[in-house]
Amino acid sequence: MLTELLTKDTIQLANFVNTWQEAIHLAASPLLKQNKIEARYIEAMIHSIEKHGPYVVITPKVAIPHARPTEGVNALAMSLLSLQKPVLFGPKKPVFLIIVLAATGHASHLQALVDLTKILREPKQIESIIACQYKEEIIKEIQQIVAKESS
């Protein structure tokens, strides 16, 4: 499921961004272009973090911004932004990987999250994705980790 959602069209690499808000805008832009989300979904993600703090930083170096399906999700989707230099989501919350999750309901995204958890539970695996210089490398890395964990 994860490898179906994270493709060359939904993965981006950048050197750096100035703010976490800019990171979310950039990370979500492929989903907006594909009409999987509406612009208000991006604003809802940002508003949620402004209101509740950097709860989306779920493990060191990784943030998974999201909002409610009713706030502008048109289809189940995920995108990934990999930064060479971290952006701060809060004090002592440097983030290199921003993975936008757009779920259409309570269960539709669960398999993708299970696959994502397989990757994020190992700091070495997170580092290997951050080290990738090309989209194809990230895809290959994710495929290898998911395949290894599934066997």
Q: Characterize the bridge pairing of strands 94-102 and 11-14.
A: unpaired
- Res. 84 pLDDT band, cuts 50 70 90: very high
Q: Which CATH architecture has domain 2-150?
A: 3-Layer(aba) Sandwich (3.40)
Report pTM: 0.93
Task: Name 56's Cβ contacts closer than 8 Å, sequence gap at least 6.
Answer: 45, 49, 63, 64, 65, 66, 89
Burial of residue 6 (CB within 10 Å: 0-12, 13-18, 19+) is buried
* Average confidence (pLDDT) over 74-101: 95
Question: Where along the chain do its domains lie?
Answer: 2-150
Burial of residue 52 (CB within 10 Å: 0-12, 13-18, 19+) is exposed
* Average confidence (pLDDT) over 28-53: 96
- The tokens describing 115, both together, are 């696959």
